[in-house]
Amino acid sequence: DPALAARTGARCLDGSPGAFYWYPATSAASAERMVIYLEGGGECRTADECAAWRGGSGPSSLAFPPSRPLRRGELSADPLVNPDMHDWAKLILPYCSADMHSGTRLTPSAALGGAYFGGHNLIAASLAALPAQPGFFSPSLVL
């Protein structure tokens, strides 16, 4: 959401708006349980590192698909694969900020080649946007 990115600084390294994927709980028993998955991916600390990171696969949301299938393991919706949390709500935050989800910049860094570092802003904005998502209930248990 470009307006959300402009208001909150929830941006990827290249300045494109950050994104999240929301999967509501699939049972009433787990309506107030949620798993948050912060995707990993590395960082950059110098202009050269940021330029190299930009050349990789993750500094932008422009190629993010409109939806993402849940991966196997702890995010799986299959009760045989994930018996404890298969029906919990899931918030997936793809990694695109090169700041280990900790950046709070609202403007690009001239010293680092115009890179934005808004990973923390993206987490905060995603959590703030959840109440407007279909099937959202205020969670009482979050992993």
> How are beta strands 33-38 and 89-93 bridged, if at all?
parallel
Residues 41, 95 contacting (CB under 8 angstroms): yes
Condensed to tens digits (0 to 9), the pLDDT of residues 98-138 reads: 999 999 999 999 999 889 999 999 999 999 999 999 888 88
Threshold 0.85, pTM exceeds: yes
The pLDDT value given to residue 60: 87
The pLDDT value given to residue 57: 56
Instruction: Judge whether residue 5 has pLDDT over 90.
Output: no
User: CB burial class (10 A; 0-12, 13-18, 19+) of residue 118?
Assistant: buried
Say how far apart CA 120 and CA 33 lie, in whole Å. Answer: 22
Condensed to tens digits (0 to 9), the pLDDT of residues 16-38 reads: 999 999 999 999 999 999 999 99
**All residues at 6 or more sequence positions from 72 whose CB lies less than 8 Å from its CB, including other chains:** 81
The pLDDT value given to residue 41: 83
Condensed to tens digits (0 to 9), the pLDDT of residues 51-78 reads: 888 766 568 898 889 998 887 788 999 9
What is the rounded average pLDDT of the residues 82-102? 94
Residues 74, 28 contacting (CB under 8 angstroms): no
